Amino acid sequence: MLSAANIAQILMSGLLMGLIYALIAAGLSLIFGLMDVVNFAHGEFLMTAMYATFGLVVLLSLDPLILSPIVAAIMFVVGAFCYRAIIVHAMRARTNVGMVQVFATFGLAITIRGLAQLVFTPDYRSIPKSWLGGQTFSVFGVYMPAPQLAGALASLLAFGALWLLMKRTDFGKALEATREDAGAVGLVGIDRNRVFAMGWGLGAALVGLAGAMLSIFYYIHPDVGGSFALIAYVTVALGGFGSVFGALAAGVIVGIVEAVSATVLQPSMKAIGIYAVYLLVVFLRPRGLFGHL
């Protein structure tokens, strides 16, 4: 039987990982809410950020924690570039619209994977020495690994900053306006394409931050994006496509479900818990918890 200490540990592990999942999902939700496009290359953005962190650690010998804002900035540029070079064309499709968006972003995902293999080889990489790596805090007998804790805190900070951005800045308002009615914003002088590009940049930056934090304690390899991506889709659907803060709540739920599943089922089957949650939610409540359809 599980003791109270066990349960507390499960919940804490789930919470920490869940907040990181939320951060990964936030960018996906933002992009979808903005322009109704599901980015099937989102996992590869995460992977790119992890490699970028790795590369910078090797080049500059700085700690990943310090590098994380830089990686986020790099990913911002990557995201905006991807929009301008690829996505803007996908959105112009007049026929087979669904297929075009799915496969355009899929093609991007595969290309990025190939590039990662080319530059870094398929070998598993890890960041050997970092401030947080291997350290653990313990509160009342509940263990919180430092990297996960930092990731969770970074996630909360990012969501806080995002909230401020959306509510208090002109850019945030432009983002919100474009989300409401992309067709009309041109009339008030907002360049729709610019907003979309920035939206992609912001979405990529968020997942970039997550990637930087993950690289501290996760193996890095070209396929690492895959499983995280699926968790991200599940999280976004659960929270509601388009609701960034729904992604926060959903991420926590997903993290805890995963932690519980790993204990209740065999650890190799823990993903089923999350997938079952996804299916249940979309069948019973297609809008998700907080989404607008």
* Under rule CB under 8 A, residue 109 binds another protein: yes
Site string for another protein, 237-256 (x = CB under 8 A): x---x---------------
Our CB check for another protein shows the closer of 90 and 146 to be 90
Which residue stretch of 47-55, 89-97, 161-169, 186-194 sits at the interface with another protein (rule: CB under 8 A)? 89-97
Distances (CA, A) of 277 to 132, 167, 179, 287: 32, 31, 28, 14
184 binds another protein (CB under 8 A): no
Tell me, by CB under 8 A, how many residues bind another protein: 49
CB-wise, 7 or 99, nearer to another protein?
99
> Quick one: which of 110, 153, 161, 164 contacts another protein (CB under 8 A)?
110
234 touches another protein (CB under 8 A):
yes
Q: How would DSSP label each residue in the chain?
A: ---HHHHHHHHHHHHHHHHHHHHHHHHHHHHHHHHS---TTHHHHHHHHHHHHHHHHHHH---HHHHHHHHHHHHHHHHHHHIIIIIHHHTT--SSHHHHHHHHHHHHHHHHHHHHHHHH-SS-B-----SSTT-EEEETTEEEEHHHHHHHHHHHHHHHHHHHHHHHSHHHHHHHHHHH-TTTGGGGT--HHHHHHHHHHHHHHHHHHHHHHHTTTS-B-TTHHHHHHHHHHHHHHHH-TT-HHHHHHHHHHHHHHHHHHHHHS-GGGHHHHHHHHHHHHHHH-TTTTT---
Closest CB to another protein among 221 and 255? 221
Q: Does 269 bind another protein (CB under 8 A)?
A: yes
**Sign of the dihedral through C-alpha 86, 89, 91, 94:** negative
Residue 260 sits in the site that holds another protein (CB under 8 A): no
Is 217 a binding residue for another protein by CB under 8 A? The answer is no
Residue 233 lies near another protein (rule: CB under 8 A)? yes
Nearer to another protein, 41 or 252 (CB): 41
Q: Counting contacts by CB under 8 A, is residue 135 touching another protein?
A: no
* Residue in 5, 62, 99, 161 binding another protein, rule: CB under 8 A: 99
Site for another protein contains 131 (CB under 8 A): no
193 lines the binding site for another protein (CB under 8 A): no
136 belongs to the binding site for another protein (CB under 8 A): no
Chain residues in the site for another protein (CB under 8 A)? 32, 38, 86, 89-90, 93-96, 98-100, 102-104, 106-118, 121-122, 222, 226, 230, 233-234, 237, 241, 266, 268-269, 271-272, 275-276, 278-279, 282-283, 286
